[in-house]
């Protein structure tokens, strides 16, 4: 399974996660300010958002790969590989 987010989708994920953190986690005012500042640094159309989205896609892909077994058909047989490189 392949999941690839574009930068707009990466921004939505980041916004939703930070909103949940700000709303439901007991943070000091300095912590809240740090989260808000980090979020402002990832505004749409910025280079840091591109990097964030690239790292997010890599993390999602690794998460899926670690939990997925591969099935290959070899000469009429089905072989399951769990040690995918």
Check if the beta carbon of residue 49 is closer than 8 Å to that of residue 11: yes
Is residue 62, in this structure, part of any structural domain at all? yes
| Alpha-carbon gap, residue 44 to 7, rounded angstroms | 7
Question: Which domain does 61 fall in, by range?
Answer: 7-81
Is residue 1, in this structure, part of any structural domain at all? no
Look at residue 56 in the predicted model and tell me its pLDDT: 97
Q: Which residue has the tokens 């740090």?
A: 34
Is residue 2, in this structure, part of any structural domain at all? no
Domain total of the chain: 1
Is residue 47, in this structure, part of any structural domain at all? yes
Residue 7 has pLDDT above 70, yes or no: yes
Residue 59 has pLDDT above 70, yes or no: yes
Residue 27 has pLDDT above 60, yes or no: yes
Look at residue 8 in the predicted model and tell me its pLDDT: 96
| 77 or 22: which leads in pLDDT | 22
């Amino acid at each position: 399974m392949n999941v690839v987010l574009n930068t707009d989708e990466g921004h939505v994920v980041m916004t939703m996660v930070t909103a949940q953190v700000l709303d439901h986690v007991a943070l000091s005012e300095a912590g809240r300010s740090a989260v808000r500042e980090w979020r402002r640094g990832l505004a749409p159309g910025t280079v840091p958002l591109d990097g964030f989205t690239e790292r997010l896609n890599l993390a999602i892909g690794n998460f899926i790969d670690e939990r997925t077994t591969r099935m290959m058909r070899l000469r009429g047989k089905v072989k399951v590989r769990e040690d995918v490189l």
